[in-house]
Chains A and B, each alone.
Chain A
Amino acid sequence: MLDLGTHASFIIAAYAVTFVAVGALVAATLADDRAQRRKLAELERLGIRRRSASPTVKTSHSIKTTTKPKAARAPVKRKPATPRKTRS
């Protein structure tokens, strides 16, 4: 058995406070993360999409986009280079 000496109550209280505070922080962080995921999934289910959502990067939160890929640009015709006039 762990012998914490004459000041055991202070040691136990210190560790108890740490566990409760860290436990509450972990629980609150995870609950918030889950809540935001759930809200986002609900909006996706309703068909509301981000305009900037990229289909190329896959994450568990990525939103599938229905945007069509951009058409390939037509080649730009350039004027032939004209020789510069130089001072003689």
Chain B
Amino acid sequence: MISLANPTRFLSLVDRVVPWLSAVVVILLGVGLYLSLFVAPPDYQQGETVKIMFVHVPAAWLSMLGYTLIAIAALGTLIWRHPLADVAAKTAAPIGATFAFIALVTGSLWGKPMWGTYWVWDARLTSMLILFLLYLGLIALWQAIDEPGRAGRAAAILGLVGAINIPIIKFSVDWWNTLHQPESVFRMGGPTIDPSLLTPLFVMAAAFTALFVLLHLIAMRAEILRRRVHALQQTQVEHAALAEA
């Protein structure tokens, strides 16, 4: 792990991992979509709309995982000054924001036929919207500050402060009376979902997780290269100025 603190070694690892992980993502997504659309039976109450769960729930999990990753990376930036922590946090934000967006929209599309409304300001939906806005805030912060070190520290503080929202999202359905259904997978006493629906859900969750990791690794590689390009361009400008002088 310590050797991966070296960006060049990290790039070497990413080059080796990406082709294999791409294959894993394609296989898992193919199997997951087949199980979700063609094998999973309709729910006895929700009918075929339960198929929305197979994209909605993994997207919601990944959006929370992405922010947890940003909070851990923020500690790495502020405490240990790990050279890749800032890169990891910055590149996780757009991916997490996309999954949060998917969770919000698919949840809304699931809510209309089941609840009779696209949106309600209950604790789960509102805290999820706040998560999406936090992601947008982080992305805006990184775009607003040119110097990567300063941007990284400012974003790390916002990332840590915003992390309080993660347990609020998780336990909102227990703490408050919400229209959103209570926890039905990771709960004391085991899942309340039938295995015929749980299996496709877990396969899709594995596929989304592998996709998240794959995109994050590629985005981190691109960010490291961007910083190298920026440094080289500065060197080029300095050389040009020296040549003129």
Contact = CB atoms under 8 A, between A and B. Distances in A.
A and B: real partners? yes
Interface of A: 2-8, 10-11, 13-15, 17-18, 21-22, 24-26, 28-30, 32-33, 35-37, 39-40, 43, 46, 48-50, 53-54, 57-62
B37 interface: yes
B229 A36 contact: yes
Nearest to A24: B98
26 contacts: A2-B37, A5-B47, A7-B48, A8-B48, A10-B52, A10-B109, A10-B112, A11-B51, A11-B52, A15-B55, A17-B106, A18-B106, A21-B102, A26-B215, A28-B94, A29-B218, A32-B226, A33-B218, A33-B219, A36-B225, A36-B226, A37-B225, A39-B225, A43-B232, A57-B9, A61-B225
Nearest to A10: B109
A57 B48 CA distance: 53
B95 interface: yes
A40 B215 contact: no
B208 to A, nearest CB: 9
Q: Which of A13, A14, A22, A46 has the most chain B CB atoms inside 10 A of its CB?
A: A14
Interface string B222-239: 100110110111011001
B221 interface: yes
Nearest to B53: A14
Contacts of B135: none
B113 interface: yes
Contact of B102 (A3, A22, A43): A22
B228 A50 contact: yes
A22 B100 CA distance: 11
Interface string B99-110: 001100110011
Nearest to A11: B51
Given A18-B55, A36-B226, A37-B225, A59 B231 contact: no
Contact of A40 (B55, B218, B229, B236): B229
A24 B101 CA distance: 13
Contact of A14 (B11, B38, B55): B55
A83 B146 CA distance: 60
A3 B235 CA distance: 61
B183 interface: no
Interface in B5-60: 6, 8-9, 11-12, 15, 37-38, 42, 47-49, 51-52, 55-56, 59
A5 B55 contact: no
